[in-house]
Structure 1
Amino acid sequence: MSPVAKPKKRSTSQIKTSQFTPHGVVDIWMEGSLMHYEATGPFNTELVDCLAIAQRDYLLATRPQGAWVSVCTVVGNAMSSPDGIARYAAIMAAPKPDNMIPVATAFVMAPDVEGGSIMAPQFTKIYADIGRPFQIFETMAAAQVWADAMLEQARTAPTAPT
């Protein structure tokens, strides 16, 4: 019997949550200690619901060990409906098992991403509200440097007494 292969990629395009069509798509994959999300918008509530399921399924299948950082690259359009961003905030605030929570989250939004400057403060508030380190970068290279620093900080942080 061969070992079970870990999924290489998961996508919101593989999930259906309602009779309404999700707007946008998010692909998810892991490289080392980075969980990558490539998000092509605009986004609606149905897409956010698909993302929650795709992400949960991927994390359950891969079961990341140790500290990891999520990095979301937004492609084309960052806009979300008001209901979509409210749903995203609610999902991010919902309790999760420790191994399913990154130590930090970075978004990569180049200056030409439509709606990036409108959505950036909303994403920043969502992550501030849940107390997770968060930054938005214009390039993946800059996000990678920050993610590596966040991982190093997590690995060298003293552990709390039990």
Structure 2
Amino acid sequence: MIAEIGGPWNAELIHYYRELMAEQVPAVAAQGPWALILEIRGAALCPPEAVEGIRRGVVEHASSWRRICTAYVIASDVEGYGVTDRVWRGIYAGIMPFEIFEHMADARAWTQRHLDAPPPA
């Protein structure tokens, strides 16, 4: 699944995003393991109150909806580029593979490798 989000992020944006995802995820998960590529535009800044909402969604998708990895695409002209990497990585740590890319083609290739890999034993 590929999603585009324009930041800066806030709790309201995360709530709205989760509502949209809830409409799509069951059908995607029914087809098997899946991945998310999130292209961030505008700003990659995320306040602490939104971080917990994102993490809850990641845990839910990993445990209940078969999401196996996530890639972010953040171009160098996005506000917060490189500054928020630690925040994003912390959200996904210990839950699923996660990586940040500057270009969509790289994110797609990385994601496809994870989807093509045999499931863990």
Shorter-chain TM band: 0.7 to 0.9
Distance change (3 Å), C-alpha of 1:61 and 1:41: same
RMSD across aligned C-alpha pairs, in angstroms?
2.0
* Cross-structure match for 2:113: 149
- Are residues 1:114 and 2:79 paired? yes
Match of 1:75 among 31, 37, 41: 41
TM-score, structure 2 normalization: 0.86
Aligned-pair identity (%): 31
- Are residues 1:42 and 2:8 paired? yes
Aligned pairs (5 A) from 1:57-72: 57-72=23-38
TM-score, structure 1 normalization: 0.66
Q: Offset of 1:61 from its aligned partner?
A: 4.8
Distance change (3 Å), C-alpha of 1:90 and 1:62: closer
Q: Where in structure 1 are there 5+ consecutive unaligned residues?
A: 1-34
Q: Name the amino acid aligned to 1:48.
A: I
Alignment check: 8 A CA contact 2:28 2:34 kept: no
Q: Where in structure 2 are there 5+ consecutive unaligned residues?
A: none
Aligned pairs (5 A) from 1:6-17: none
* Cα distance between partner residues in 2 of 1:78 and 1:39: 9
Larger RCO: 1 or 2 (CA < 8 Å, sep 6+): 2
Q: Name the amino acid aligned to 1:120.
A: D
Alignment check: 8 A CA contact 2:29 2:67 kept: no
Q: Offset of 1:157 from its aligned partner?
A: 3.3
